[in-house]
Amino acid sequence: MILIIMLFTTASFLVLGVSVWVLIKEIFTVHVPPPIRQRVKFHILHYFFQLAITLGNVLEKMKICSMPHFFRFLQDLLVPKNNFGVLVKKMHFGTIPVRLFQPKATSSGPRRGIIFYHGGGCVFGSLDSYHNTCSYLARETDSVLLAVGYRKLPDHHHPTAYHDCLNATIHFLKELKTYGVDPARVVVSGESIGAVAAAIIAQVLLGRKDLPQFRAQVLINPAVQAVNFQLPSYQQYSDAPFLSRKFVMTCTCKYLAIDLSWMDAMLKGTFIPPDKWKKYEKWISSDNIPQRFKSHGPQPEFPGPFNESAYLETNHVFSLETSPLLADDEIIAQLPETFLVSSEYDVLRDDTLLYKKRLEDQGVPVTWCHLEDGFHGCMVLFDMYALSFPCSQKAMSSTVSFIKGI
C-alpha cells in the first residue's frame, strides 16, 4: 500500500512538473501570428498539444509506451464522435481497417464517392480522430465516403502506410456498385500526409483500365516533396506552432527510416547530387514561389556542397512514392481537376504553391483556397465549438463547396 502511494505521489509530481515546464515554455517562447484571431484559445490548444507530446516523450524514455501511441490514445479518448446523421460502418479490407460513411436519405441514383486519408505525419491521427471530419463531409456533400486507417509509426515505416492506402483504394474502386457509388464521380482526398497519399495514388492509378479514373483530387495542406527544406515557408515558419520545421524533418526521417544524424544534411541540401538538382530545380526551387510569399533579405545557400554519403542514406526521398511533385510532366498533365488548401502559417505552405504551379503549367484545372489566418491541422477543428477557428470553418466549407460542384 505504501509503495502504491509513493508511486502515485511520484507520478503526480512528475506530471505537475512537466505541466509547469510546458506552460512556462508556452508563455515565453511560443509566438502566435497576429492575424490568427482568438489568441488565448490558440495558446490553450497549443499548450495541451505540447503537453501531450512531452508526457509521451517522458513515457517513451521510461520505456512505458511510445509517444505516438500515447498521443493517439489521448486523441481518440478525448475527441467526441458525431455521426452528423450518416450511417457509419466499421470494416476491414483484408487487414486494413476502414470506415464507411453513407447518407441516410435515399438516393435516386448512385452517389458521389470520396476516399479520404487522414493526416498526422504517420505519428498522430486515426479513424477516430477524423471521424467527425469524414461524417460531416459525407453528409454535406451527399457522398459515400471511405476513410482508410493505415498503419503508422513507431511500428511501421514507409512504404507501409502508402501500400495500405493504395490497396484499400483499389479494393473500394472495384466494388463501387456495392456501395452505391457513381464510378464517374470518385474523389481522392486527404489532409497533410494523407494528402500526400492522395497525390501519389492519383498518379499511380492513372491509366489503369481495370479501375474507374478519379474525377478530382482534394489535397489539404499536402507535403508533396521531401527535398527542399529551405523554401520560404520553411524559413519564415520554422518554429510555427503545431508543426515546426524540425518536427517535420523528424517525422520525415522516422517515417522513411533515415537516421536523425542526417537531418542537417537534408536541411542544407547537401544530400542532393548536382545532376538531380539540375533536373528538379525547375520544379522545387524557391524561384517558383510567388514574390508575395517571400521574405526580404539574404537567402541561405541551397543546395550546399554535395555529400555523397548523405545521398546514399537518403536517396529514397526522390522516389515518387515520397515526393509526387517530382513526377514527369506527362504524368502531371493527366491528373484530374484539383482542389488545394494551403495555410499561411504552415511550414508546408510552399509545397502547395509548388504543386499548384506544376498542375497549372500542365493545363490541369486547379481551385485554390489559401487560409490567410490558417495553421497546420486547423481544418480538423471545424466542429470543436470552443476550440474551432474561422480558418477551420473556411477550410471545411470551401472543401464541401468544391466537392458538391463536381
Catalytic residues: 192, 346, 376
Which residue type occupies 311?
A: Y
DSSP states of 184-227 as a string?
Answer: EEEEEEEETHHHHHHHHHHHHTTT-TTSPPPSEEEEES----SS
| Closest C-alpha among 91, 86, 122 to residue 104 | 86
| Closest C-alpha among 66, 79, 142 to residue 110 | 142
**What are the cell numbers at 301?**
545557400
* C-alpha–C-alpha distance, residues 164 and 98, integer Å: 10
Strand partners for 161:
none
Inter-residue contact 114 to 146 (CB < 8 Å) = yes
Backbone angles phi, psi at 149, to 5 degrees: -100, 80
* Alpha carbon 279 to chain centroid, angstroms: 27
Dihedral angle computed from the Cα positions of residues 117, 121, 124 and 126, in that order, rounded to the nearest 10 degrees: 10
Residue in the structure block whose three cell numbers are 489566418:
373
Q: How many residues in total does the chain contain?
A: 406
Inter-residue contact 281 to 268 (CB < 8 Å) = no
Cα distance between the two ends of the chain: 65
* C-alpha–C-alpha distance, residues 401 and 397, integer Å: 6
| Cα Rg of the chain, angstroms | 21
**What are the cell numbers at 216?**
478530382
* C-alpha–C-alpha distance, residues 148 and 163, integer Å: 11
* C-alpha–C-alpha distance, residues 127 and 49, integer Å: 19
